[in-house]
A and B are shown apart, each in its own frame.
Chain A
């Protein structure tokens, strides 16, 4: 797959925190690439290089194959969706006008804009009536969704998200993450997202990039990285309970057996995670679960199967 974003030996000299040193990284089309690391690691700087909010002191940033330093930054920015932690909705414009921002900048005809607004509200599962309201009347969750709708408005192939759910409470965060995963699956957009929350990174990403002190420490699929050799990466991503984190990354469908479960076994959906499955076993005291969906039985998952699905690295 072609790289939508490519950083080639990019450095940003800030003198201390938030700088970058010789970063080389590619983000392929359709990836949901999550930049994670402690604060000051340079995650946001790396993200802001992509739409030229930050200029590199050395190296080249390519977007869709073109060196962005040679092109008009305004046109570049209009072609990329952008969402941030504080949402930054325009307080003096209605929800509909907020969403219409980039389409207007791009000079879309009004009927097309008018048709696009309800489409996006529906995509974010927001009430169509919201379009006429001002941002201060929205709940936190609604505002976050409107921010995402605004970023998606002109149907950009690339989306930049800087701690997009950072200001939300834990319950809302979980809902918004599920929403983002769904939208990523539906639209197939390339998304570059910054977070300092390792759990969020593992849950959302198709690829995780770990940054520390302005360098890329590791990059790869979540399951790969969680058993990475680097102790910093392992600690950051695994936290206090790396085994449980890993259970959360594997679906029941990937670990189940085709054999039927004993009658009366509790039922779990194939899309649920193994940590959900373990939790259900503990709650119901059942060692074998039936895997099923919409009344159909697909197979079974026992405790041994669950253990086999998550091999642990040999103790160091």
Chain B
């Protein structure tokens, strides 16, 4: 909780660059298989991409070297080098897939290998690391630029022969529906968390006894494995529905949406509740004391002192809860709630790696997006700390 230091950890960036190079040179980059269900033969990046692989490596090393030996330099140049490296990796890989599949049957697939995922992941984390010290416009621009390049490559058909893209094109409608469903589930869960977390946070702030009791309950929830909790909710809810059949009329069912929302909200409840409590207590005691001594009543002290001073803490708690909701709702796929989790589950049932990724990647992207957006907001809303 709280703010993260702006100072980058020394050695982190070179380590990330090393991981990216490992992805490029040490592992399989692309696997060519006769159909989507077998693993096929693996190609290294050098074999698949040709000389371009060294260009990518040089761009990454150049960015890290600039950061290392020109620490005074504005981050814009290394950021652009890294964006270029990512764009090059994406474009060359799409082209390599097309090239590899030229002579093969239409069912043949070019699947992205471990090396690709390691390399791209390390590259993106490295980019995020460099962006941490950058100006706000660069922090917004660089991800947009990256997305724009990926979208352009997709639109131009550069990526069409990659197995993941083939899979996407076959299931675009399902995926879009699952994405919306996922967002709706996560949003509803977050709404429930807020509806309970805020009043319970206030209650705990006013009463130390309530705090102890609520902390015990919410901590206990965290100890139960998430999957077990989701599973256990099904018999509990069906027993409840037998006892109170009227709930069925409200659309409550023992599987699917209801247990997913309840389970997710129970999990995300602890970080949000903690954050509300910490935010309310964030105002220094002497500041609250002076406010009272100058003639503010309790309601005004809360409105004029506690809430604004707690705002950054509240937002941090909201961020953690939102990210948790996006992630946990995916488990709802296992109990019939649909959403991106259901796609992952289907992919696992079919041993279809690309389908798993098709569900998992948007979950990760949503979580990162929510996290990034709320972080930006946190920085904006506390002008007195700059």
A311→B295 CA distance, assembly (Å): 47
B291 at the A interface (CB under 8 A): yes
A75→B291 CA distance, assembly (Å): 13
Lowest 7 A-B CB distances belong to which pairs? A78-B295, A88-B290, A77-B295, A88-B286, A134-B384, A86-B286, A82-B293
B308 at the A interface (CB under 8 A): yes
Would A90 and B295 be within 8 Å (CB), given that A134-B383, A134-B384, A136-B384 are in contact?
A: no
Q: Which residue of B lies closest to A153 (CB)?
A: B294
Complex interface bits, B268-305 against A, C-beta within 8 A gives 1, otherwise 0: 00000000000000001011011111111100100011
A92→B37 CA distance, assembly (Å): 59
CB neighbours (8 Å) of B286 from chain A are 84, 86, 88
Complex interface bits, A84-115 against B, C-beta within 8 A gives 1, otherwise 0: 10101111110000000110010000000000
A292→B171 CA distance, assembly (Å): 98
Q: Smallest CB–CB gap between A315 and chain B, Å? A: 46
B289 touches A88 (CB 8 A): yes
A258 at the B interface (CB under 8 A): no
Q: Smallest CB–CB gap between B276 and chain A, Å? A: 18
Q: Smallest CB–CB gap between A72 and chain B, Å? A: 10
Number of chain B residues whose Cβ lies closer than 8 Å to a Cβ of chain A: 21
Residues of B within 8 A of A (CB): 284, 286-287, 289-297, 300, 304-305, 308-309, 382-385
CB neighbours (8 Å) of B300 from chain A are 105
CB neighbours (8 Å) of A53 from chain B are 289, 292-293
Give the dominant DSSP class at A's interface: mixed
Q: Smallest CB–CB gap between A77 and chain B, Å? A: 4
Residue among A78, A86, A90, A102 facing the most chain B CB atoms (10 A cut-off): A90
CB neighbours (8 Å) of A160 from chain B are 293
Would A84 and B308 be within 8 Å (CB), given that A78-B294, A101-B294, A102-B294 are in contact?
A: no
B293 touches A77 (CB 8 A): yes
CB neighbours (8 Å) of B296 from chain A are 74, 105
Please list 23 pairs of residues, one from A and one from B, whose beta carbons are closer than 8 Å in the complex, sorted by A's number: A74-B296, A76-B295, A77-B292, A78-B294, A79-B295, A82-B290, A82-B293, A82-B294, A84-B289, A84-B293, A90-B287, A90-B304, A91-B384, A92-B308, A92-B382, A92-B384, A93-B384, A101-B294, A102-B295, A105-B294, A105-B295, A105-B300, A136-B384
A51 at the B interface (CB under 8 A): yes
CB neighbours (8 Å) of A136 from chain B are 384-385
CB neighbours (8 Å) of A84 from chain B are 286, 289-290, 293
A75→B294 CA distance, assembly (Å): 9
A51→B292 CA distance, assembly (Å): 10
Q: Smallest CB–CB gap between A63 and chain B, Å? A: 13
CB neighbours (8 Å) of B309 from chain A are 91-92
CB neighbours (8 Å) of B287 from chain A are 88-91
A75 touches B295 (CB 8 A): yes
Q: Smallest CB–CB gap between A143 and chain B, Å? A: 13
**A 18-43 contacts with B by CB, 8 A:** none
A288→B291 CA distance, assembly (Å): 54
Q: Which residue of B lies closest to A101 (CB)?
A: B294
Q: Smallest CB–CB gap between A25 and chain B, Å? A: 20
Q: Which residue of B lies closest to A73 (CB)?
A: B295
Residue among B286, B287, B292, B293 facing the most chain A CB atoms (10 A cut-off): B293
A51→B296 CA distance, assembly (Å): 12
CB neighbours (8 Å) of A90 from chain B are 287, 291, 304-305
Q: Smallest CB–CB gap between A168 and chain B, Å? A: 16
Residue among B290, B297, B300, B382 facing the most chain A CB atoms (10 A cut-off): B290
Q: Smallest CB–CB gap between B204 and chain A, Å? A: 23
Q: Which residue of A lies closest to B288 (CB)?
A: A88
Complex interface bits, A34-70 against B, C-beta within 8 A gives 1, otherwise 0: 0000000000000000010100000000000000000
Q: Which residue of A lies closest to B312 (CB)?
A: A92
Q: Smallest CB–CB gap between B308 and chain A, Å? A: 5
Q: Which residue of B lies closest to A88 (CB)?
A: B290
Out of B291, B293, B297, B383, which one reaches A51, CB within 8 Å? Answer: B293
